[in-house]
């Protein structure tokens, strides 16, 4: 069961051009494009005439023209022209999805009712080019949404799966703290590491070497938005009040978790940093490194999905580091129960 009355990342802003493309989101095929005025549009990717994908059509001004028989639609999904006749059938319209472009990401509302903008995640770091530099990407994973949630809520896997980039031994050995806010629907996982080795991912960008203090603070807002507040600071520094991190290098690592089907998920990611702002070389390095990290996750989760679909029975054993992931599972199940009761 999909949770539909929520915002999901539909695309990277840079993916959207005049030429339409198709993306399957929550089991529904959606045609995404920019109109002549640059407005982002999302329509059901099926012409009501003979079912041809609208994503194979052509954008003409503010309209999308079907590439099969020329039925023409505006941004609201209304059919405005049918070749060879003046009368337009009342059933010729297609569904239009509410979309919002926020910096590097385009969000889509998959619910049937009015889009609830109060549920739209706030991502000011992806918009503030003066104080933050950002890179982004997307990967399609042949694995279930649930596997990706587990992966992101338990970062101890960095020590082993990402040991050449962001993983160090201390990530796995440092205990975590977990907070669950049922009212605000957020799961928080904290890991603070003192006097640990600076991993290559950060030493190449910050210039830090040797021992550093390192923070990993996760805010997961089910179902589709995840923010990792990552910070590093040199161990040798003037005394500061407890909890102060103004002296640190800050990186916001975002994930948009967008189910495609029951066994595939889109992993949208973005990195925003407050150091070396505007440095193109650092941008390219981080983009390359993060793409590699995500690919390692893609490979691992694909293997897990294959095992889950095969004949091998897997009996899970959960331990302390799983508390964040288990809390997320419970919250998602409660949200599904609520949605089921309403429907």
Residues 143 and 113 in one domain: no
Maximum distance among all Cα pairs of the chain, rounded to whole angstroms: 78
Q: Do 107 and 156 belong together in one domain?
A: no
Question: Is 204 inside any structural domain?
Answer: yes
Residue 96: the pLDDT is 97
**Within a domain: 128:** no
Q: Which of 118, 144, 160 is the last residue of a domain?
A: 118
- The alpha-helical segments, DSSP class H, found in 107-244 are 145-153, 158-161, 169-173, 200-206
68 in the same domain as 35? yes
Per residue in 211-262, pLDDT tens?
999 999 999 999 999 999 999 998 876 555 555 566 799 999 999 999 999 9
In whole angstroms, what is the distance from residue 260 CA to residue 23 CA?
8
Predicted confidence at residue 22, as pLDDT, reads 98
Q: Say yes or no: 53 and 143 in one domain.
A: no
* Percent of the chain whose pLDDT exceeds 70: 96
Which stretches of 30-184 are DSSP H helices? 145-153, 158-161, 169-173
pLDDT in tens, 277-296: 999 999 999 999 999 999 99
What is the structure's pLDDT at 228? 98
Residues 49 and 171 in one domain: no
Kind plus residue range of the DSSP H or E element containing 3: none
- The CATH number of the domain where 32 resides is what? 2.102.10.10
Position 83 in a domain? yes
Integer Cα distance of 6 and 119 in angstroms: 7
Which pTM value belongs to this model? 0.94
Contact 38, 62 (CB under 8 A): no
User: Which run of H or E residues covers position 140?
Assistant: strand 133-141
Grade residue 18 by pLDDT with cuts at 50, 70 and 90.
Answer: confident
The alpha-helical segments, DSSP class H, found in 39-130 are none
Q: What is the pLDDT of residues 154-193, one digit of tens each?
A: 999 999 999 989 999 999 999 999 999 999 999 999 999 9
pLDDT for res 246: 66
Give the Cα separation of 72 and 91 in Å (integer): 13
Does residue 66 sit within a domain? yes
In angstroms, the CA 141 to CA 138 distance is: 10
The answer on 180 and 139 residing in a single domain is: yes
Q: Determine the pLDDT at residue 242.
A: 59
Residues 206 and 313 in one domain: yes
The mean per-residue pLDDT over the stretch 320-324 comes to 95
Contacts of 81 (CB under 8 A, 6+ apart): 63, 70, 71, 72, 88
Q: Which domain holds residue 69?
A: 7-118
The CA-atom distances, in angstroms, between 323 and each of 30, 137, 147, 148 are: 35, 28, 15, 15
Q: For residues 171 and 165, give the distance between their C-alpha atoms in angstroms, rounded to a whole number.
A: 13
**231 and 317 both lie in a single domain:** yes
The answer to whether residues 231 and 214 touch, using CB atoms and an 8 Å cutoff, is yes
Tally of domains in the chain: 2
Same domain for 303 and 334, yes or no, is: yes
Nearest to 102 by CA among 265, 279, 254: 254
Read off φ and ψ for residue 199, nearest 5 degrees.
-70, 155
Q: Identify the bridge partners of residue 270 per DSSP, sorted by sequence position.
A: 136, 254
- The pLDDT value recorded for residue 113 is 83
Region 116-143 average pLDDT:
94
Structure tokens at 111: 């619910």
At 246, which CATH number? 3.90.380.10
Q: What is the pLDDT at residue 330?
A: 97
Residue 199 pLDDT > 70: yes
User: Once rounded to an integer, what is the mean pLDDT over residues 294-313?
Assistant: 90
Mean pLDDT over each residue of the chain, to the nearest integer: 93
157 shares its domain with 203: yes
Q: Are residues 92 and 179 in the same domain?
A: no
Distance spanning both ends of the chain, measured CA to CA: 12
Task: Give a yes or no: residue 240 inside a domain.
Answer: yes
Does 335 have pLDDT greater than 80? yes
Distance CA 271, CA 310 (A): 35
Residues 206 and 106 in one domain: no
pLDDT, tens only, 46-98: 999 999 999 999 999 999 999 999 999 999 999 999 999 999 998 999 999 99
> What whole-number distance in Å separates Cα of residue 326 and Cα of residue 180?
11
Q: What is the pLDDT of residue 303?
A: 95
Pick from 158, 150, 125: which is nearest to 257 by CA?
A: 150
Q: Is 275 a domain residue? A: yes
- For residue 60, being part of any structural domain is answered with yes
The answer to whether residue 126 is domain-embedded is no
Domain boundary among 90, 118, 146: 118
Angstrom distance (rounded) from CA 104 to CA 122: 13
Residue 224: closest CA among 301, 146, 290:
146
The encoded tokens of residue 274 equal 């407050």
Last residue of a domain, one of 89, 118, 147: 118
């Amino acid at each position: 069961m999909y949770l539909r009355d929520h915002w999901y990342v539909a695309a990277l802003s840079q993916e959207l051009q005049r030429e339409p493309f198709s993306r399957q989101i929550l089991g529904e095929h959606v045609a995404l494009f920019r109109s002549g005025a640059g407005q982002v549009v999302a329509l059901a990717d099926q012409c009501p005439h003979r079912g041809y994908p609208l994503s194979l059509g052509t954008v003409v001004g503010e309209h999308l023209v079907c590439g099969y028989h020329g039925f023409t639609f505006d941004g609201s999904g209304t059919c405005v022209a049918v070749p060879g006749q003046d009368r337009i059938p009342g059933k010729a319209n297609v569904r239009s999805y509410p979309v919002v472009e926020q910096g590097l990401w385009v969000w889509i509302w998959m619910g049937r009712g009015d889009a609830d903008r109060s549920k739209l995640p706030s991502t000011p770091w992806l918009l503030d080019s003066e104080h933050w530099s950002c890179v982004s990407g997307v990967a399609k994973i042949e694995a279930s949404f649930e596997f990706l949630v587990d992966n992101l809520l338990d970062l101890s896997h960095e020590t082993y799966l990402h040991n050449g980039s962001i993983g160090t031994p201390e990530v796995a050995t440092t205990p975590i703290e977990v907070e669950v806010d049922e009212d605000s629907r957020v799961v928080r996982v904290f890991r603070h590491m003192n006097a640990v080795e600076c991993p290559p991912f950060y030493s190449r960008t910050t210039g830090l070497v040797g021992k550093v203090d390192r923070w990993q603070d996760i805010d997961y807002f089910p179902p589709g938005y995840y923010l990792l507040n990552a910070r590093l600071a040199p161990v040798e520094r003037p005394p500061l009040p407890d909890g102060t991190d103004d002296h640190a290098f800050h990186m916001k690592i975002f994930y948009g978790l967008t189910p495609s089907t029951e066994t595939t998920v889109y992993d949208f990611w973005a990195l925003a940093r407050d150091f070396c702002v505007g440095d193109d070389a650092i941008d390219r390095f981080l983009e390359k490194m993060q793409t590699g990290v995500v690919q390692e996750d893609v490979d691992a989760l694909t293997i897990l999905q294959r095992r889950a679909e095969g004949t091998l029975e897997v009996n899970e054993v959960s331990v302390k580091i799983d508390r964040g992931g288990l809390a997320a599972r419970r919250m998602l199940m409660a949200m599904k129960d609520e949605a089921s009761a309403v429907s």
